[in-house]
Structure 1
Amino acid sequence: MLNWSKIDTVLLDMDGTLLDLHFDNHFWLEVIPAAHAKHKNISIAEAKADIAARYDAVSGQIQWYCLDYWQQQLELPIMELKREIQDLISVREDVPAFLEALRDSGKELILLTNAHPDSLSLKVERTQFDKYLDKLVSTHQYGVSKESQWLWHQVQQDLGFDKSRTLFVDDSLPVLAAAKEFGIAHLLAVTNPDSRQPEKHIDDYMCVSDYRTLLPIN
């Protein structure tokens, strides 16, 4: 279990960590290939293969998360397509009680997301999850993603957190590995980022499927 007395700052990912990843998975794996197929007049199977190759080419880089990049690459109205399925955007059921408990205990709560600012704005607009947080940071303002060590150095410099007294929560194992390499002392992995998908088995990090099991927080 986490020793909350040794944690002052909690850095939180957004998609899959605070919000259900189903929206993003459905958007990038179904909506975008369908729109790409229609735009290029190719089959869904061809579109999915092309899109998958494009995703792999920039995986872990800021471009993967950049809506401007994909709009240019695919010639598609990315935000317009997102808004068409915005009803799927939802906060994880276990998040409100968890964040309220963290806030009541005096922890500093910071969102650190690779999401593009436009995507972040849409999700805040739909859910108002930002009301629990002290700061919201998109890595796009730095031009690199959380997979980069340079990003971690810059974020710590700007936010001033003590990495020995910081908890970082994310559903991405490569991102957690980058945080570990940087020296974040407390790491927590999410095993069920997408409510429509099976829970993941994670051995390398302390993990959670329901934040309420971590309560109470002192």
Structure 2
Amino acid sequence: MALLPWSEIDTVLLDMDGTLLDLHYDNQFWMQHLPQRYAELHGVSRAMAELELQPLFERNAGTLNWYCLDFWSRELRLPIRELKQELAELIALRPDAGPFLTAIRDAGKRVVLITNAHRDSLSLKLERVELAPYFERLISSHDYGFPKESPQFWDALHADIGFEPSRSLFIDDTLAILRSARRFGVAHLLAVLQPDSKAAIRDTQEFDAVDDYRTLLDGL
């Protein structure tokens, strides 16, 4: 991966889950903990819980509902906020993220968090990891009513914060979101090679990927 042209970047847009925070927490919650607690609380087998959950997950993937704790609480008849608290000790900042955030903030870059996480998920994670001081704004896609996969999200973000896409860097672990940002005109895009520290590295296809954020600081 070539060095970032930092002189051509004014704004740094950063995803949260899988980008700054280890995605292990979210993967464990949605793929292991939630099916188990669903089975226990609804009195069904774990296998039946997974059979009932899978089509719901597939139908809502990539939509705002996918990220909405209120939606899943209603749909599954479960206290999702409380269940997420049960695994909160797994919430962790990537070890390379802190030095990167400090460096770009100190370099005078405009740094904005843009996440699909529901505000309640964001609050839970901010209780565990001190992210807020690094950012000018902490924006949830729920504020706009559109997920980051949608072009309407980028229109709303642009109207809200007035960033220049051609002079912005965006880092995210979801390829569909990076493609949406590219269509909007964001010039500098990076994927994340290993969003979940306990899982395999990912094929990021047409996007350059970062494995250690500290390697991005050359030339800053």
Aligned to 1:68: 70
Matches within 5 A, 1:157-172: 157-172=159-174
AA aligned to 2:118 is H
AA aligned to 2:27 is N
Deviation at 1:104, TM superposition (A): 1.2
Give the length in aligned residue pairs. 218
Question: Within 1, Cα distance between the matches of 2:78 and 2:205?
Answer: 39
Per-residue CA deviations over 1:37-92 (Å, capped at 9, x if unaligned) read 12222211121122121111011000000000000000111111111111000000
Aligned to 2:36: 34
Matches within 5 A, 1:199-214: 199-214=201-216
Asked if 1:195 is matched to 2:191, the reply is: no
| Equivalent residue for 1:140, pick from 139, 142, 153 | 142
Question: Within 2, Cα distance between the matches of 1:93 and 1:49?
Answer: 36
Deviates more, 1:28-37 or 1:42-51: 42-51
Aligned to 2:6: 4
| TM-score normalised by structure 2 residue count | 0.97
Cα root mean square deviation, aligned: 0.9
AA aligned to 1:81 is L
- Percent identity over the alignment is 49
Per-residue CA deviations over 1:161-185 (Å, capped at 9, x if unaligned) read 0000011100000111111111111
Deviation at 1:191, TM superposition (A): 1.1
Which ranges in structure 1 are unaligned for 5 or more consecutive residues?
A: none
Per-residue CA deviations over 1:10-42 (Å, capped at 9, x if unaligned) read 000000001000000000111111111122222
Contact 1:60 1:145 in 2 (8 A): yes
Aligned to 1:84: 86
Shift >6 Å, 4+ stretches: none
Question: Within 2, Cα distance between the matches of 1:148 and 1:92?
Answer: 27
Deviation at 1:217, TM superposition (A): 4.5
Question: Within 2, Cα distance between the matches of 1:123 and 1:136?
Answer: 12
